[in-house]
Structure 1
C-alpha cells in the first residue's frame, strides 16, 4: 500500500486531521505535537481520540507522525535548554500511544558549545531518558542538512547516536529528501548508491519514514529550504523515483511544502499517486 500524506494542523484535533487527510486523497498525516515554537500543549481529549480511532479504521488512515517542536535542543550543553527538551520529549512520548501506529519525530538540534561527539552523546542520552519498552510507537531521528552546528547530517552521525541508545528497537530514522540533498547525498543521480551507503552505515531496518520535499538549494549547500514540489533543484521525477524504489516503497511519505494550500497538497498527492507503479 502506498502511504502518503501532508503536514496538517492539529488545532481542531485528531479527528479533524484524519478527515482532512482523507479529503486530500491521503492516508496518513504529520502534525506538530505542540506549538512548533513553544511548549504549550492541549490536554488529551478522550472523545476526540475515540472518534479518530473509529474514523481512521473505517477510512484506512495509518502511520500518523507527531513532530516535536523546533525549539527544543536535546543535544545542548546548556542545562536549562536540555532539561526543557527532555521534559517536552518525555511528555510527548507518554502521549504517543493514544493513537495507534503513531511515531514521534525529533530533530537532534545543534552542538553549539561542545564538540559534535559530545552533542551526539547528549542526544542519545536524551533518547534513553524518554523512550520506554512498553511504548508501541518509535522515536524517529530526523536527519538534517548540516547547517551551522547541526547534528545528524551524515549517516555516520546517525549511527553513532543509535549505537548509544539502549532500546534500539524503539528508535528509527526519517530521511528528508531536501535535507539529504543539502547534506550532499546525491538522491537525484544515485539514489541506489545513497541507500546502499545508508544500509552499510546505519541499516535499512532502521529507516522508518521519508519527508518528500523539494529544495531551493543546490546539493551540498548544508541548507534545507523547501520548494514547491517540482519547482526545486531535486524535481518531481527524482522524488517520485523515491516512492517507487523497492527499498523505500513500503514506508510512509510525508510532504512539507512551504505555505501550501490544501488544494496544492491535494494536487501533489494525486501526482505522486499517479506516478506510483502498481
Structure 2
C-alpha cells in the first residue's frame, strides 16, 4: 500500500512530491483546481517530468487527483450540470497530460429530485464525458449520505456504474469517515463492510481510499473528519482497516483536519501498524 495525504500543487508537482517525501509519503492527493471554483492552473511539462522522475526514484505509487466541490453531476439545473460536465472533461484531459491515473469526484447532489433522478443525471453526464481511450480512471467517492447526496449507499454506486457505456473507465474511492457516517460499521468489522462492497459493487472497482477518523457516530450521515485515533472509529479499528489485504497496493490518503506535522505523525503511525 502507498501512504500519503492531501497536499497542494500550487507550487508545482515537483514541489508537492518533495513535500510528500518530507512527511514520509509515497503517494498524495491534490485538487485539480481551486476546490470552490476558478480557473485551472497551467501545467508545466518540465515540472511534470521532474516530478515523475522523483516518484520513480522513491518508489511512489499512483497519485490521485480530486475534482473541485463545485462539480455536481446530479444537478437538475442545466447550467450547473453543463459546468460539471465541462469541468470534469477538461480535468480528465489535464490529468492525462500530467500522467495522473485517477481523479476522484463526488457523485453529486440531487437537490430534492430524488435518488433515482440523481443517479440518472450522473450516468447521463458520465456517458457524455467518458471516452474509451482516456488515460484517466474516474473514481466515484462513497459519501456519508448527508442531505441530498448521491453515493451514500453501495447500491447507488452500483446503479451509476450499471448505467455507463464505458464502465471500465470508472472505479470507486472509499472514505473511512464517510463509510462510518453512512452506517457501514468500519469500527466493528471493516472486513464485513468490504465483503458487502465486493458483493454489491465488486472489490476490483476499489482503486483508492481516504483514511480519516470520524467526529460523528455511526450512521450520523455527517461528514466530519477527525485525526486518526482521536475520533469515534478509534486507533484499533483504523489499524485493522490498514491491515486488510484488499488495500494492498492502493493509494491511501489522509484528509484529516491537522497540519503538515500531523500528516507526518499519522503516516508514521499508519506504517507502524502494518502487519502487527
The TM-score range, normalised by the shorter chain, is over 0.9
Q: Distance in 2 between matches of 1:190 and 1:51?
A: 42
- Which residue of 1 is the match for residue 221 of structure 2? 222
Cα RMSD (Å) of the superposition?
1.2
1:265 aligned onto 2:263: yes
SS in 2 for 1:82: helix
What's the TM-score once normalised by structure 1's chain length? Answer: 0.96
Contact 2:65–2:100 (8 Å) recurs in 1: no
Q: Distance in 1 between matches of 2:115 and 2:211?
A: 27
SS in 2 for 1:205: helix
Q: Distance in 2 between matches of 1:126 and 1:29?
A: 27
Q: Deviations over 1:164-204 (max 9, x none)?
A: 11111111001100000000001111212111111111111
Q: Deviations over 1:139-180 (max 9, x none)?
A: 000011011010010000000000011111111001100000
Q: Distance in 2 between matches of 1:230 and 1:42?
A: 35
Listed as ranges, the matches of 1:31-46 within 5 Å are: 31-46=30-45
In structure 2, the gaps of 5 or more residues are none
In structure 1, the gaps of 5 or more residues are none
- Which residue of 2 is the match for residue 27 of structure 1? 26
Q: Distance in 1 between matches of 2:156 and 2:126?
A: 15
| Offset at residue 101 of structure 1 (A) | 4.9
SS in 2 for 1:114: coil
- Which residue of 1 is the match for residue 148 of structure 2? 149
SS in 2 for 1:257: coil
Q: Distance in 2 between matches of 1:133 and 1:276?
A: 37
Listed as ranges, the matches of 1:55-134 within 5 Å are: 55-134=54-133
Number of residue pairs aligned between Structure 1 and Structure 2? 276
What's the TM-score once normalised by structure 2's chain length? Answer: 0.97
Q: Deviations over 1:247-272 (max 9, x none)?
A: 223321110011x2211101100001
Q: Cα distance 1:68–1:8, how it changes in 2: closer, same or farther (>3 A)?
A: same
Q: Cα distance 1:121–1:65, how it changes in 2: closer, same or farther (>3 A)?
A: same
